[in-house]
Amino acid sequence: MSDFSTGANGVEFATIACGFLDPATGELSYASAGHPPALVVSPGGGVQWLDGGRSTPVGAVSLPCERSAASYRLGSGDLLILYSDGLVERRRESISTGLGRLESAARSRSALPIDQLGERLMMP
C-alpha cells in the first residue's frame, strides 16, 4: 500500500477529485476517485451535479481499476463548487441528504459575492 493512500486510523484509501479547465472555452475535463461530485451553480440558481468520470477511491482495491474522465462546459458566470466529503457526510444520515442540503444552500446563496459564499455554504 502506498504511503499516499494510508491515512489515520488504518484507513488505506484516499478520495481524489481532479479537473482541468480551459478558460478560453469553459470546457472542464474532470475525474473523481471516490470523491463526492462537484456542483455547478448557474447565475440564476440552477444546479448541475458533475457525476461523470467516477471510479473507486485510490487504494480501495488491490487490482488496477478503470479510471474514466468526463467533461462539462461551464457557462459565463457559472460557479464550480468543490468540497470536502466532511461537508456533506453526517453519521446516521444518508449521503443524499447531505448532498441535498448542499444543493439547497448553493441555490439560495448563489447571488452572494464569491468571497462570502464558501463561509455561508458551511453554515446552511
Name the E strands within 9-82.
Answer: 16-22, 27-33, 38-41, 47-50, 54-55, 70-73, 79-81
Q: What is the DSSP letter of 57?
A: P
* pLDDT for residue 5: 46
pLDDT at 98 over 60: yes
| pTM as predicted | 0.80
Distance (Å, whole) CA 109 – CA 81? 12
> What integer pLDDT is reported at residue 25 of this predicted model?
96
pLDDT digits (tens, 9 = 90+) for 13-53: 788 899 999 999 999 999 999 889 999 999 888 999 999 99
* pLDDT mean over 55-62: 78
The residues, ordered by sequence, that sit 6+ positions from 122 with a Cβ below 8 Å of its Cβ are: 87
What's the CA gap between 55 and 37, in Å, rounded? 11
Q: At what angle do helices 114-121 and 95-108 cross, to 10 degrees?
A: 150
